[in-house]
Structure 1
Amino acid sequence: MPDLTTQRVLITGARQGLGHAIARRFLADGARVCLFGRGGMEEARRALNAPADSVVAVTGDVRDSADLERATRVMTEAFGGIDGVVTAAGITRIAPIATLTPEQFREIMDINVTGTWLSVRAAVEAMPDLGGWAVLLGSVYGEGGAPDRSAYCASKGAVHNLARALAVELGPRGVRVNVVAPTGVMTPMIRDLIARGLYNQAGVEARTPLGRMATVEEVAAACAFLASPDAGMTTGTILPVDGGWIANGFIQPSNTNR
């Protein structure tokens, strides 16, 4: 397991799903963690059953720079500083361009792209003068297109190229910036889409060479690796956790509801 015992980490979107699983993994690897999300954060903190001095919780919105700066202040008070950030906050909508409203498109871009940028900005401003890292949650849909996902594909493509740009910009001060790009992961968001008939789990599994969706633990493990000293020379990288989805040519299942 990666050694994260010196790491103080801000994790956005940490109430449930991927963000919460990533927090659990980082705590198991010895990190101290700040959970950040729009609600239910104290409940999320208690669910981790971690020592009180290893985890704090902050309620806020990734679209609000003041909320993120408040989180870094809480971390400084509790842990003495911040070393890294995982940007797990994100939303999706599955709808054709004709029915996706401009307001829905803007919301996806605001949370997935602007929220990611603001999260990294706040974290970097609070990091030491030399060193630090950011792991951005991307998607296989950041590397290709799919029907009914124009906003989501656009947002995750932007996140991937944001990481490349920030890796180049922040490299001279020792800050590494990478992306973990999963395929479908069984999270509360995906379960909701499946229940509404908007996500074709069988189709995703059928076109994935490994024949299944990813687990939250597998995505969390990739994030832990990129945060660790073992990835000390890795920056500007898109790390797929996709069971071979991208390698398979991004072929879509016949049912467009993926």
Structure 2
Amino acid sequence: MQPPAPEGRTRMTITRDPRFDFTGRKVFVAGGTSGINQGIAEAFAVNGATVGVFSRSQEKVDAAVERLKALGDAPAFGMAGDVRKPETVEAALKAFHEAHGETDVLVSGAAGNFLAPAAEMSPNAFATVIGIDLNGTFNVLRLGYRYTAKPGGSMIVISAPQSTRATMYQAHACAAKAGIDQLIRVLALEWGPVGIRVNGIVPGPIAGTEGVDRLFNTDAARKQLIEKTPLRVMGGLEDCANMAMVLSTDLTKYVTSAIIPVDGGTTVAGGSDYGSDVSRRNA
């Protein structure tokens, strides 16, 4: 029996998928103790991988490790730290490497966000999101390069629709995510010759995540969000997890620099402008 979902969250259905076998593979997920990133970590674990997670809260790390152990047969690893502090990232990656060997799949998903009009946003507030999202992504990938299998390594970055879509009250997130997308492309160029593939996932509205719970916290708001989604349904954590697993198999061995929406078509449909939606609901 699966452990219960955290209060107020939708727990994805996790079962071993015969299409994926990560037995003997090592997967490190930065930000892997909540939301989409935790879903990715859990999917890899239930499909045989040895999984390590990293986030700021030791309590969340401990809880995630226990869940990974309950879901899979392979060992699980966790360490607390801050992606903005390279020394803590390095310590976690090194410890995971010393315990389990080369990392086959490295996922960078730590992120921070909040709604704020640009005219009222402090420089420190802007720098905080840039620090977590953009600088944090660079720290994870740059420091992870040493410990990632070459050739055969897969690096996956969780981006966001704000990388290509200007969104009210999201100047910080838009700037950070646009930088992340370009970082993916540059590292794909530089690290392709040693056999590391670097790709990105752009989640759309995913049920059971903090972003959806915070920004679309009424029935009316969720109905409006679904109506703007061409597939007319919100995604689940398993949708992003499945894409991460596909990007880590030989099915995509010739795919690098791809930034793939997992969003039910919201990007091509214009998506939801969180800022204007929130403004209307608060009017």
Runs of at least 5 residues in structure 2 that lack an aligned partner in the other structure: 1-18
Q: Distance in 2 between matches of 1:28 and 1:51?
A: 5
- The number of aligned residues is 256
Quote the residue 1:158 is aligned against: 179
**In the alignment, does 2:154 pair up with 1:136?**
no
Q: Distance in 1 between matches of 2:186 and 2:231?
A: 31
Q: Distance in 1 between matches of 2:261 and 2:240?
A: 9
Runs of at least 5 residues in structure 1 that lack an aligned partner in the other structure: none
| Alpha carbons 1:35, 1:58 under 8 Å: kept | yes
For the residue of structure 2 that corresponds to 1:128, the secondary structure is: coil
Q: Distance in 2 between matches of 1:98 and 1:202?
A: 30
| Alpha carbons 1:53, 1:78 under 8 Å: kept | no
Q: CA deviation at 1:72?
A: 1.7
Q: Distance in 2 between matches of 1:27 and 1:95?
A: 37
Q: Distance in 1 between matches of 2:34 and 2:255?
A: 28
**In the alignment, does 2:29 pair up with 1:29?**
no
Correspondent of 2:89 among 56, 68, 87: 68
Q: Which amino acid aligns with 2:27?
A: V
Correspondent of 1:42 among 62, 70, 75: 62
For the residue of structure 2 that corresponds to 1:224, the secondary structure is: helix
Quote the residue 2:246 is aligned against: 225
Correspondence list, 1:200-211, <5 A: 200-211=221-232
For the residue of structure 2 that corresponds to 1:35, the secondary structure is: strand
Change (3 A) 1:191 1:67: same
Q: Which amino acid aligns with 2:232?
A: G
Correspondence list, 1:177-256, <5 A: 177-186=198-207, 187-195=209-217, 200-250=221-271, 252=273, 255-256=276-277
Q: CA deviation at 1:50?
A: 3.9
What is the TM-score of this pair, normalised by structure 2?
0.84
Q: Distance in 2 between matches of 1:237 and 1:55?
A: 29
**In the alignment, does 2:101 pair up with 1:80?**
yes
| Alpha carbons 1:142, 1:154 under 8 Å: kept | yes
Q: Which amino acid aligns with 1:145?
A: A
What is the TM-score of this pair, normalised by structure 1?
0.91
Q: Distance in 1 between matches of 2:211 and 2:276?
A: 20
Q: Distance in 2 between matches of 1:10 and 1:226?
A: 14
| Alpha carbons 1:72, 1:81 under 8 Å: kept | no
Q: Distance in 2 between matches of 1:44 and 1:162?
A: 28
| Alpha carbons 2:170, 2:275 under 8 Å: kept | no
Quote the residue 1:122 is aligned against: 143
For the residue of structure 2 that corresponds to 1:247, the secondary structure is: helix
Change (3 A) 1:206 1:79: same
Deviations 1:139-182 (A, max 9, x none): 12212111111111111111111101110110001000000001
Greater shift, 185-194 or 86-95, is seen at: 185-194
Correspondent of 1:145 among 155, 160, 166: 166
Change (3 A) 1:56 1:63: same
Change (3 A) 1:228 1:140: same
Q: Distance in 1 between matches of 2:47 and 2:271?
A: 34
For the residue of structure 2 that corresponds to 1:135, the secondary structure is: strand
Correspondence list, 1:3-18, <5 A: 3-18=21-36
TM-align CA RMSD: 2.2
Same amino acid, percent of matched pairs: 27
Q: Which amino acid aligns with 2:214?
A: D
Q: Which amino acid aligns with 1:96?
A: P
